[in-house]
Amino acid sequence: MGSNSLKALFLLLLFYVALYVLSNFIAPLAGDMLPLKVLEIKSDIFRLDYMLWLVPASAFFFVYLLLPLLRSEMGFGGTFVNWFPLIFFIACYIAYFVAIYWFYDNQAVLSGVKLSQFNLDFLNPLSAAYWKNFAASHFFFFVLAGIGGWVARMVIENFLTGKPEQSALH
């Protein structure tokens, strides 16, 4: 295991601490503006929400390992890497809309009814109800962890590595 791998694991642990603080202390203060699920540490392991704890690690390493591939194989440069968090957030916001729409469309087909019979008022991506639904989902932790993976990649390449020619910003 290389030193960059250990740095990435350390940054992942720091990111988990930040997610824990955000979901347990900051989000309750924000109220309805940031209705995050709570990362709970329980002694009863059978009541622990494993998906909420494991999704951030997969997103973190997905983005952390994807960025060098995008630069080397697909030819994206430093400008793309700098704009990546915004692009990633928007793409995830749209992907969440598609997933929810597909879910309700599938439910309508399986029930033998029309999609218009479901109350889909919250499915307007520009509405506050959609934002609350998005922020209260497990997928939002995926988005935050993906952005955390980007931060980790940028920190390791630009501040913790002695080789500036590997940097995404140069």
Give pLDDT, residue 95: 94
Q: What is the mean pLDDT of residues 101-129?
A: 85
What stretches of 64-157 adopt beta strand conformation (E)?
A: none
Q: Is the pLDDT of residue 1 over 60?
A: no
pLDDT tens for 35-71 read 777 777 877 878 778 888 899 999 999 999 999 888 8
Give pLDDT, residue 163: 57
Q: How many CA atoms lie within 13 A of 26 on its CB side?
A: 8
Q: How many CA atoms lie within 13 A of 24 on its CB side?
A: 9
Q: Where are the domains of the chain?
A: 3-166
Q: Rounded to two decimals, what is the model's pTM? A: 0.83
Q: Which two tokens stand for residue 7?
A: 């740095």
Give pLDDT, residue 157: 87
* Helix H or strand E encompassing 60: helix 50-72
pLDDT tens for 8-18 read 999 999 999 99
Give pLDDT, residue 165: 45
